Protein backbone atom coordinates (compact mmCIF):
# COMPACT_ATOMS: atom_id res chain seq x y z
CA UNK A 1 0.00 0.00 0.00
CA UNK A 2 1.20 3.43 -0.85
CA UNK A 3 1.81 6.01 1.81
CA UNK A 4 1.34 8.64 -0.89
CA UNK A 5 -2.37 8.50 -1.77
CA UNK A 6 -2.88 10.19 -5.11
CA UNK A 7 -6.45 11.24 -4.39
CA UNK A 8 -8.79 10.78 -1.50
CA UNK A 9 -10.75 7.57 -1.74
CA UNK A 10 -14.42 8.11 -2.51
CA UNK A 11 -16.45 6.01 -0.09
CA UNK A 12 -19.97 5.09 -1.22
CA UNK A 13 -22.94 5.90 0.99
CA UNK A 14 -23.84 2.16 1.28
CA UNK A 15 -27.58 2.77 1.08
CA UNK A 16 -30.15 -0.02 1.17
CA UNK A 17 -29.37 -1.03 -2.42
CA UNK A 18 -26.01 -2.43 -1.24
CA UNK A 19 -26.04 -6.07 -0.16
CA UNK A 20 -23.58 -7.11 2.57
CA UNK A 21 -21.52 -9.10 0.06
CA UNK A 22 -21.36 -6.04 -2.21
CA UNK A 23 -20.06 -3.93 0.67
CA UNK A 24 -17.38 -6.45 1.64
CA UNK A 25 -16.52 -6.95 -2.04
CA UNK A 26 -15.95 -3.21 -2.38
CA UNK A 27 -13.64 -3.30 0.65
CA UNK A 28 -11.73 -6.25 -0.81
CA UNK A 29 -11.11 -4.21 -3.96
CA UNK A 30 -9.92 -1.23 -1.92
CA UNK A 31 -7.59 -3.42 0.17
CA UNK A 32 -6.02 -4.86 -2.99
CA UNK A 33 -5.41 -1.43 -4.54
CA UNK A 34 -1.78 -0.49 -3.88
CA UNK A 35 -2.56 3.16 -4.63
CA UNK A 36 -4.85 3.54 -1.62
CA UNK A 37 -3.24 5.32 1.31
CA UNK A 38 -3.23 3.85 4.81
CA UNK A 39 -5.49 6.68 5.99
CA UNK A 40 -8.02 6.04 3.22
CA UNK A 41 -7.93 2.32 3.92
CA UNK A 42 -8.69 2.98 7.58
CA UNK A 43 -11.60 5.25 6.56
CA UNK A 44 -12.90 2.55 4.22
CA UNK A 45 -12.73 -0.15 6.89
CA UNK A 46 -14.56 2.11 9.36
CA UNK A 47 -17.27 2.93 6.82
CA UNK A 48 -17.80 -0.75 6.01
CA UNK A 49 -17.97 -1.70 9.69
CA UNK A 50 -20.58 1.00 10.28
CA UNK A 51 -22.57 -0.05 7.20
CA UNK A 52 -22.60 -3.66 8.37
CA UNK A 53 -23.42 -2.75 11.96
CA UNK A 54 -20.14 -4.11 13.31
CA UNK A 55 -18.74 -2.37 16.37
Q: What are phi and psi of 34, to 5 degrees?
A: -70, -15
Q: Tens digits of per-residue pLDDT, 1-54?
A: 445 545 689 999 999 999 999 999 999 999 999 999 999 999 999 999 999 999
CA trace torsion 32, 18, 13, 26 (10° rounding): 0
The predicted pLDDT at position 5 comes to 47
Amino acid sequence: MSTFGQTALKIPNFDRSWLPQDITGWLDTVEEDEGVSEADLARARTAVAEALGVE
